[in-house]
Amino acid sequence: MSLLSLLIFLPLAAGLLILVLPYAWQQRYKYVALAAVGIQVIMSAFIYLNFDGNAFSGIDAKSKYQLVEQVSWINLQLGRLGSLQIDYFLGIDGLSMPFLVLSSVVMFIAVLSSWEIKTNLKGYFALLMLLNTAIMGVFCALDFFLFYIFYELMLLPLYFLIGMWGGARREYAAIKFFLYTLFGSVFMLLVIIGLYFSVQDPITGNHTFNMLHMMNPDNYIPGSIFSALAEQQIFGIPARLLGFIVLFIAFAIKVPIVPLHTWLPDAHVEAPTPVSIILAGILLKIGGYGILRICMSIFPDAAIDSAWWLGLIGVVSIIYGALNALAQNDLKRMIAYSSVSHMGFVLLGIASITAEGISGAMLQMISHGFLSTMLFFLVGVIYNRVHSRYIHDFRGLALIMPKYTTFIMIAFFASLGLPGFSAFIAEAFSLIGAFTSESVNGLLPRWMAICGSIGILLSAAYLLWTLQRMFFGKTRLMGGEDWKSKLTDVNGREIFVLTSLTVFALLLGILPSLAFDKMNASVLELIRLVNLK
Amino acid sequence: MIDFVWLVPLFPLIGFLIIGLGRNILPKAVAGFIGSLTVLLSFAVSIAIFVQLESSAVKTHIVPLFDWIRAGNLLVPFSFQVDPLSALMLLIVTGIGFLIHVYSTGYMHHDAGFSKFFSYLNLFIFFMLLLVLGSNYIVMFIGWEGVGLCSYLLIGFWYTNSAYASAAKKAFIMNRIGDLGFLIGVFLIFATFGSLEFAQVFPQAANLAPNNPFLILITILLFIGATGKSAQIPLFTWLPDAMAGPTPVSALIHAATMVTAGIYMIARSNILFTLAPLTLEIVAIIGIATALLAATIAVTQTDIKKVLAYSTVSQLGYMFLALGVGAYTGAMFHVLTHAFFKALLFLGAGSVIHAMSNEQDMRAMGGLKKKLPITFITMLIGTIAISGIPPFSGFFSKDEILAHTYQHSKTLWVLGVIGAMFTAFYMFRMLFLTFYNKFRGTHEQEHHLHESPKSMTIPLIVLAALSVVGGFIGIPHILGGHHWLSQFLAPVFYQSSVRTGALTLDHQTEFLLMGVSVAGAVIAALIAFVKYSKNNHVPLADNVDRGTLARLSYHKYYIDEIYDFAISKPLNFLSGFFYRVVDKAAIDGVVQGLGRATTEASKGLRLLQSGNIGFYIFMMVAGIVALLLYGFYNI
């Protein structure tokens, strides 16, 4: 078994172990989980260090991927329909490798923050490990069918994690989340089948789910539904455009974009802290990753045609999310809306189809992964102590929790794009990409970048306002003296988590080449692929 | 030494890390010592660099540190540029920075957050040095934002006071508005010139014809950035509020260094501005308008720091006026002299406040001359210097600005002289109200009155000396000098001066201009003397009705209220509207509606399952008939 398989299935094994361990040991489940994610962190660090970002650009050529595993998995002779060919096909390139590192770190922190979970530990940790497997699988899979299996597999544990360990309206939030995502992925399945019947393996001649084959126009069967030359139409819309839109909507719900975002605030508010962390830190990125890996690579022609709309959606999300964040009284809800705003930069950068824009979008996803993890962890800290998240329930926290305040200031300033932290480089590059797009490829008008940058201003407004209301002034708490005694400053475990996240955000902000150098070749390759059309 | 320029910002960064991480362990004396020492070391290196540059034939040195970002076509090296302009700024930042660090060891001595204060100050110096040393707009922008952060942290230093925390937030957000302009300007520079390196952008720009629309747009955007950081109309209201910070902060950040970043940035990009005369005209108009507006507010303020704050806004306006009329050297000259006398005045005010047990209202002061002799003498020197009375430093820099203004436009010159008279008036008003006549405070305050410790008075004396002699580096030719500063900075402004030409006024006019502005300042000072010293006039209490003009001035023309009404309220309304109406009611309403529609529809369909066999058979037959009909008509 090679490294990627190990990375994917190690947590599954840990989950199974937890299931068979006796209940009497339930206080130790978390250590099993922690060991598994700890090993994953080491493995992904190893992968990162050995990753060659220059020679292997990935994208549409198997030989340019690293750590490739390809095993024929399902091979059915279907008579007249040919043979069904599904491969267990894994590999990573510059677009996916950073997410393996991000996911393993976020997962590690999610497990560390699971110390707060008190009920039904067996189920909780088993589901968490299952989710972990699914997430790793999504980022490694290069066969569309395999991708879809992992993609749908994430839904199940998440539904239960929110629905069973969540807050007061957890069932509502869980169902809303589930239906929203399912809505997107059901139609995605139709496109997958359409692609399957349109694409041929150039060697065997079989239909195939191999994503890399789907990226090559030569592999499309003449006259098939998604063949670029056939110019088929469905409901009067070009088939390839429709396929792109359907896949885009499926991923955009995850990102999420406005107006398909209303599951996010509810899910975040109701989810327990570790699940919020995973949602914001990893799941949203699967949306952006999917758009790059699948929508743009398989339907580059449609991506160029829709770039203007993608950019517009990005800008609307940036401003709309920020304005909504400004109106929130619930700290967690505010951060959820700020996620909508920050993920808008990802879309804007991707839509520009420039090297700066896409690199910026990638870095923004990684940066936001660390920062949103930090923010939700921080919310979890006070929520665990006094079970309130309302901004106006707190005032002058800086006096009683100085260390906590330092960390929240770091997280806030990093999120509002202060130079020195990762978000600045990421957002600046997304915007530079969007801004130069007009002169490079004429896809996005300049006003989009200008409007997008207003989001940076608004983020300063809502974050600093929150800082002022909750942390400055004389201490005054909703729960009085009782709260004051419960609101102890951060403990060792919390300091460890927060410090390591701070280090990640600083490292990527001061030495962004740590990320850029690994993904540059893939980003350029992707742009080359898109521009071929 | 120039190759070791990275040491200059490195020392304060190390200081920040040591003091910041050890703030709960280090004794105050150690923290203060380390904080001051690091800046002193930077100052020493800066002097060495200055000396080397002065004797070197090559005036521009790029010191690359490492390749910072490479993505697509954009390569941003992390490198420093040492040339006369940055060398001058290095000396100002580290020199005055050091004096203010020393002063702070005395001023903040009793504060519980002493170590935190020094770590922030060191961090500020670090970012300010990045700002002036960066060889491209990105490094400059990092410093630019970084000093904004430190300004935020230090304005809100006493965060338990909500008003202070709010002032900090206001400062950061108003700066951010300007930063947005800066950032978009930087994008446009990259899109136009394909690089962000000064050494690549400026030569390309110099080949463009004047009034290139891109250049005009770029310069306007950069200028918007400058209005935020350097507190010009319309983004100036944060600076007076920023006085919430400890007084050394007001002296260092909000008078001597950070607020001049906008001037530095424009002087650095001078060729872009010279080729965009339209922008320069705007810069000049905004500059003089700000100078006058702030001066007319300063004349009625009663808080000693507020007077100085509006004075700073006004003096910054003069610097922009200078930039606007193409007198880049004059602007930098005024940056330098202003750094001396305004830092001095703020530190002097701090000494007064220190002595007055934190009282800042001049109505409660008076007669401090005897009790605070050193503070008085040094502040007197500062006042004369800022008023533009020869031979003190302010005279030379202000004269240079006004002479260039006269050549550019007579109207602007008249306005400039009026502003200068206001300056002399409000400064002497402050001096007389504070130090002359009888003490008006409480007995307890009177009892505590004392001259400040040496750590505070020595920086005052040094700055006073600099305020006296600082102008001598730029003595104009008609007074027998050869304007060393202008020669020193000439390589930086070469491309611009080729295009704008030198001052062409004849000697007689120049002497006349000098005479008018000096006479104006002296007259204004005399009026202040008569009113506040001889007639012992004390400003009215807050609740007493003033005349219309005085009320407008005292309440700062209600600009804060106007902004609140025109911007903050609508923004809050908009965000509430988007959340409650668009998000909750409309979007989520549709989502919920879909769910509810499904439930309702299935409730309806459920009724079909009635259990009545006759009904089922009827439906079955109807279905078969429908299918048959369909088949007939289609095949």
Residue A438 near chain B (CB below 8 Å): yes
Q: Which pLDDT tens digit goes with each residue over A6-15?
A: 999 999 999 9
Q: Which pLDDT tens digit goes with each residue over A167-197?
A: 888 889 998 999 888 888 888 999 999 998 8
User: How many CA atoms does the CB half-sphere of B354 hold within 13 Å?
Assistant: 28
8 Å CB contact between B122 and B13? yes
Q: Rounded distance, CA B529 to CA A85, Å?
A: 97
Q: Rounded distance, CA B600 to CA A186, Å?
A: 23
Q: Which two tokens mark B507?
A: 């000697």
Residue written as tokens 């930090």?
Answer: A374
**Residue B211 included in any domain:** yes
Q: Which of B24, B69, B158, B563 to mutate to test the interface with A (most CBs of A within 10 A)?
A: B69
Tell me: cis bond preceding B453? Omega within 30 of 0 counts: no
Question: Does A435 sit within 8 Å of B72, measured CB to CB?
Answer: no
Task: Give mean pLDDT, residues B215-235.
Answer: 93
Provide the residue range defining the domain that includes A109.
3-531
Q: Which two tokens mark A212?
A: 């890399």
Q: Which of B70, B120, B583, B599 to mutate to test the interface with A (most CBs of A within 10 A)?
A: B583
Mean of the per-residue pLDDT values for chain B?
90
Min Cα separation B535/chain A (Å): 43
Percent of chain B clearing pLDDT 90 (strictly above): 56
Could you count the other beta carbons within 10 Å of the beta carbon of residue B244?
Answer: 24
Min Cα separation A350/chain B (Å): 14
Question: Is B479 in the same domain as B592?
Answer: no
Helix axes of B213-229 and B261-268: crossing angle, nearest 10 degrees: 160
What ipTM was estimated for this complex? 0.90
> What SS3 string covers B284-295?
HHHHHHHHHHHH
- Determine the straight-line distance between the first and last CA of chain A, rounded to whole angstroms: 38
Question: Is B175 in the same domain as B232?
Answer: yes
Q: By CA distance, what is B174's nearest residue in A?
A: A457
- Under the banding of pLDDT at 50, 70 and 90, the label for residue B635 is low
Min Cα separation A180/chain B (Å): 9
Which pLDDT belongs to residue B378? Answer: 94
- Determine the straight-line distance between the first and last CA of chain B, rounded to whole angstroms: 95
User: How many CA atoms does the CB half-sphere of A446 hold within 13 Å?
Assistant: 10
**Residue B546 included in any domain:** no
Sign of CA dihedral B227, B228, B231, B235: positive
Question: Does B71 sit within 8 Å of A360, measured CB to CB?
Answer: yes
Residue written as tokens 């002087």?
Answer: B267
- Under the banding of pLDDT at 50, 70 and 90, the label for residue A1 is low
For residue B191, give the nearest of A323, A436, A512 by CB distance.
Answer: A436
Q: Cα dihedral angle (B474, B480, B482, B483), rounded to 10 degrees?
A: 10
- Under the banding of pLDDT at 50, 70 and 90, the label for residue A55 is confident
Residue written as tokens 């920020």?
Answer: A322
Question: Is B7 in the same domain as B132?
Answer: yes
Question: Is B535 in the same domain as B564?
Answer: no
Residue A251 near chain B (CB below 8 Å): no
Question: Does B71 sit within 8 Å of A429, measured CB to CB?
Answer: yes
Q: Rounded distance, CA B373 to CA A97, Å?
A: 69
Q: Rounded distance, CA B381 to CA B467, Å?
A: 7
Q: Which pLDDT tens digit goes with each residue over A339-378?
A: 999 999 999 999 999 999 999 999 999 999 999 999 999 9
Q: By CA distance, what is B579's nearest residue in A?
A: A324
Which pLDDT belongs to residue A192? Answer: 92
Chain A residues within 8 A of B155 when measuring between CB atoms: none
Question: Does A354 sit within 8 Å of B191, measured CB to CB?
Answer: no
- CA nearest B463: which of B377, B369, B391? B377
Q: By CA distance, what is A177's nearest residue in B?
A: B591
- CA nearest B329: which of B407, B414, B397? B397
Q: Which pLDDT tens digit goes with each residue over A303-324?
A: 999 999 999 999 999 999 999 9
Chain B residues within 8 A of A523 when measuring between CB atoms: 71-72
Question: Does A464 sit within 8 Å of B70, measured CB to CB?
Answer: no
**Residue B586 included in any domain:** yes
Question: Does B142 sit within 8 Å of A420, measured CB to CB?
Answer: yes
Which pLDDT belongs to residue B553? Answer: 83
Q: How many domains does chain B have?
A: 3
Distance set, CA A512 to CA A425, B69, B97 (Å): 7, 6, 31
8 Å CB contact between B468 and B381? yes
Q: Rounded distance, CA B281 to CA B476, Å?
A: 25
For residue A472, give the nearest of B69, B156, B579 by CB distance.
Answer: B156
Which pLDDT belongs to residue B267? Answer: 94
Question: Does A262 sit within 8 Å of B587, measured CB to CB?
Answer: yes
Question: Does A326 sit within 8 Å of B572, measured CB to CB?
Answer: yes
Q: Which residues numbered 499-518 in A keep a CB inside 8 Å of some CB on B?
A: 512-513, 516-517
The percent helix, strand, coil of chain A (3-state, each to 5) is 75, 5, 20
Question: Does A516 sit within 8 Å of B70, measured CB to CB?
Answer: yes
The maximal CA–CA distance of chain A, rounded, in angstroms, is 78
Which 3 state secondary structure label does DSSP give B71? strand
Q: Rounded distance, CA A344 to CA A42, Å?
A: 31
Provide the residue range defining the domain that includes B625.
560-634
Chain B residues within 8 A of A325 when measuring between CB atoms: 575
Task: Give mean pLDDT, residues B111-138.
Answer: 93
Question: Is B321 in the same domain as B360?
Answer: yes
Which pLDDT belongs to residue B91? Answer: 94
Q: Look up the pTM and report it.
A: 0.92
Min Cα separation A405/chain B (Å): 12
Distance set, CA A38 to CA A108, A252, A377, A441, B80 (Å): 6, 31, 18, 44, 41
Question: Does B161 sit within 8 Å of A420, measured CB to CB?
Answer: no
**Residue B288 included in any domain:** no
Percent of chain A clearing pLDDT 90 (strictly above): 63
8 Å CB contact between B401 and B327? yes
Which pLDDT belongs to residue A381? Answer: 92
Q: Which pLDDT tens digit goes with each residue over A57-99?
A: 888 888 889 888 888 888 777 776 677 788 899 999 999 999 9
Q: Rounded distance, CA A267 to CA A177, Å?
A: 7
Q: Which two tokens mark B343?
A: 């830092």
Q: Rounded distance, CA B524 to CA B518, Å?
A: 10
Which pLDDT belongs to residue B334? Answer: 94
Question: Is B591 in the same domain as B535?
Answer: no
Q: Which pLDDT tens digit goes with each residue over B8-61?
A: 999 999 999 999 998 888 888 899 999 999 999 999 999 999 999 988 888 889
Chain A residues within 8 A of B588 when measuring between CB atoms: 262
Q: Rounded distance, CA B242 to CA B265, Å?
A: 22
**Residue B135 included in any domain:** yes
Which pLDDT belongs to residue A191? Answer: 92
**Residue B219 included in any domain:** yes
- CA nearest A433: which of A441, A387, A62? A441
Chain A residues within 8 A of B173 when measuring between CB atoms: 457, 460-461, 464
Segment holding A247, helix H or strand E = helix A239-254
The maximal CA–CA distance of chain B, rounded, in angstroms, is 120
- Domain boundary residue, one of B257, B275, B293: B275
Check residue A166 and report its DSSP letter. S
Question: Does B180 sit within 8 Å of A454, measured CB to CB?
Answer: yes
Question: Does A467 sit within 8 Å of B70, measured CB to CB?
Answer: no
Residue A512 CB burial class (10 angstroms; 0-12, 13-18, ≥19): buried
For residue A396, give the nearest of B74, B160, B583 by CB distance.
Answer: B160
Q: Is the pLDDT score of B184 beyond 70?
A: yes
Q: By CA distance, what is A431's nearest residue in B?
A: B187
Amino acid at site B471: G
| Chain A, chain B: beta-carbon pairs less than 8 Å apart | 136
Which 3 state secondary structure label does DSSP give B62? strand
Q: By CA distance, what is A454's nearest residue in B?
A: B180
- Under the banding of pLDDT at 50, 70 and 90, the label for residue B634 is low
Q: Which pLDDT tens digit goes with each residue over B437-452?
A: 888 888 888 888 888 8
Chain A residues within 8 A of B168 when measuring between CB atoms: 468
**Residue B545 included in any domain:** no
**Residue B571 included in any domain:** yes
Q: Which pLDDT tens digit goes with each residue over A416-468?
A: 999 989 999 999 999 999 999 988 888 899 999 999 999 999 999 999 999 99
Question: Is B255 in the same domain as B392?
Answer: no
Q: Is the pLDDT score of B102 beyond 60?
A: yes
Q: Which residues numbered 165-224 in A keep a CB inside 8 Å of some CB on B?
A: 176, 179-180
Residue A454 near chain B (CB below 8 Å): yes
Q: Is the pLDDT score of A520 beyond 60?
A: yes
Which pLDDT belongs to residue A533? Answer: 64
Q: Which pLDDT tens digit goes with each residue over B385-433?
A: 999 988 899 999 999 999 999 999 899 999 999 999 999 999 999 999 9
For residue B146, give the nearest of A326, A420, A524 by CB distance.
Answer: A420
For residue A419, give the nearest of B146, B169, B187 by CB distance.
Answer: B146
Min Cα separation B44/chain A (Å): 27
Segment holding A455, helix H or strand E = helix A446-471
Which pLDDT belongs to residue B151? Answer: 94
DSSP states along A401-440? -HHHHHHHHHHHHHHTT-TTSHHHHHHHHHHHHHHHHHHH
Q: Which two tokens mark B3?
A: 């190759």
Q: Rounded distance, CA A88 to CA A68, Å?
A: 10
Helices (H) and strands (E) in chain A, counts: 23, 4
Question: Does A439 sit within 8 Å of B70, measured CB to CB?
Answer: no
Question: Does B591 sit within 8 Å of A327, measured CB to CB?
Answer: no
> CB within 8 A of A316, min separation 6: which ones?
A257, A258, A344
Residue B157 CB burial class (10 angstroms; 0-12, 13-18, ≥19): buried
- Cross-strand partners of A199: A220
Chain B residues within 8 A of A413 when measuring between CB atoms: 149
Q: Which is more confidently placed, B280 or A54?
A: B280
Q: Which pLDDT tens digit goes with each residue over B554-572?
A: 888 888 888 888 888 888 8
For residue B172, give the nearest of A360, A398, A460 by CB distance.
Answer: A460
Question: Is B126 in the same domain as B237?
Answer: yes
Q: Is the pLDDT score of B281 beyond 80?
A: yes
Question: Is B586 in the same domain as B486?
Answer: no
Mean of the per-residue pLDDT values for chain A?
90
For residue A512, give the nearest of B69, B173, B187 by CB distance.
Answer: B69
Question: Does A517 sit within 8 Å of B159, measured CB to CB?
Answer: no
Which pLDDT belongs to residue A32? Answer: 92
Residue A311 CB burial class (10 angstroms; 0-12, 13-18, ≥19): buried
Residue A355 near chain B (CB below 8 Å): yes
Residue A465 near chain B (CB below 8 Å): yes
Q: Rounded distance, CA A54 to CA A49, Å?
A: 13
Min Cα separation A418/chain B (Å): 7
For residue B71, give the nearest of A259, A355, A398 by CB distance.
Answer: A355
Could you count the other beta carbons within 10 Å of the beta carbon of residue B480?
Answer: 7
Chain B residues within 8 A of A359 when measuring between CB atoms: 71-72
Sign of CA dihedral B483, B485, B486, B488: positive
Q: Which pLDDT tens digit goes with each residue over A134-152?
A: 999 999 999 999 999 999 9
Amino acid at site B598: T
Q: By CA distance, what is A417's nearest residue in B?
A: B145
